[in-house]
Amino acid sequence: MALQAGIVGLPNVGKSTLFNAVSNSAKAQASNYRFCTIEPNVGLVDVPDERLAKLAELVQPNRIVPTQIEIVDIAGLVRGASKGEGLGNKFLGNIREVDAIIHVIRCFEDENVLREEGAINPVSDKEIIDAELQLKDLESVEKKISRVEKQAKFDVKAKAELEVLLRCKAHLEQGKSIRELDLNTAERPAIADLFLLTEKAVLYVANVDEPSMHTGNKYSEALKEAVKGENAQVIIMNNSIEAQISEMENPEDQQMFMEEYGMKEPALNRLIRSAYKLLNLQTYFTAGVQEVRAWTIHEGWRAPQAASVIHTDFEKGFIKAEVIAYNDFITYGSEAACREAGRLKIEGREYIVKDGDVMHFRFNV
């Protein structure tokens, strides 16, 4: 599943440095000037999951395959982007294509790093980007309203759609994002074709200085206070430190470096796991001698849908799924032992896959 999280933010807040740290692909250029990133860089990122390693210890497979998400580094936004300022239209188009947003916000002071918006103010920085996305969404909503208004006079379905669009318009005009508007399942189709920017889930990264990487600082606290009504998570990290860790190929060197900074794991691991959950994703596993592998699915998927990520034929010809709960697999140590203990269950089409399930599919094409 090629689901994407896009890294956004004002120029020079540490977006490309963060991308360099999380990406397993070629490094993005990180420089101290506007629009350093023009074409979005895309990198496939492994989702850290200690369960995969524990399963591999028991199964001893030929290879281990983690699940991944795509991280996209998008050009820095400037005030007026919704009207085409800077790389506005291109930037906003790139955001429209991602599934979720990782919003990097500068929470450090450094006179050597350019800043066009005056004194450090993470709340203001957040509001600049929010406003530009809201203005672009307002434009999209208003265009659709003009198309639907005539139909709504004689079409009941169009009338209901118009009511939703007018609610969205009023909400955006108040400077609020669509993800904060409580639309129900029946109402969401009215805006589904618009791919609204402010409907996307957001994870905030407070990029702090080294002394604040564990505790945060006044800037990160102000950011937390500003977003507390959004049901959003704020990850505190020092992007430069994370980039240095990621450049070390020797795990022992990484461990020594992290110990110097009092770190149990890279903050990036928390970020990637949070981004994964932000997309409402979960993992199931297949475990055999050839490979132990993690597979990405959406929360709430049934067994045939989960099987389809391995191969579409698995969904078409689905018969049954053999399911072992992760904790049972670890407790009993093998599929055979789980089967003998009655911990392997045979599930049908309606089974909703749980996070961590170890599965084997029976199918017939």
Residue 5 in 3-state DSSP?
strand
Per the structure block, which two tokens stand in for 87? 């790389």
Nearest to 310 by CA among 284, 272, 330: 284
Say which residues have a Cβ less than 8 Å from residue 342's Cβ, sequence separation at least 6. none
CA dist 2 → 24, 111, 195, 298, 302 (Å): 15, 39, 17, 12, 19
Q: Backbone phi, then psi, for 315, in 5-degree steps? A: -75, -45
Find out whether 312 is annotated in a ligand binding site: no
Are the C-beta atoms of 240 and 268 separated by less than 8 Å? no
Are the C-beta atoms of 282 and 49 separated by less than 8 Å? no
Find out whether 15 is annotated in a ligand binding site: yes
Find out whether 16 is annotated in a ligand binding site: yes
Could you list the beta-strand ranges (E) of the chain: 4-8, 41-46, 63-65, 68-73, 100-107, 201-208, 233-237, 281-287, 291-298, 318-324, 344-347, 358-363
Per the structure block, which two tokens stand in for 120? 């450090």
Per the structure block, which two tokens stand in for 336? 């055979």
**DSSP-assigned beta bridge partners for residue 363:** 318
Nearest to 69 by CA among 138, 6, 20, 141: 6
Amino acid at the residue 36 = C
Find out whether 27 is annotated in a ligand binding site: no
d(CA 135, CA 173): 8
d(CA 30, CA 189): 39
CA dist 208 → 30, 334, 364 (Å): 17, 45, 54
Question: Whats the size of the chain, residue-wise?
Answer: 365
Binding residues for ATP: 12-17
Binding residues: 12-17
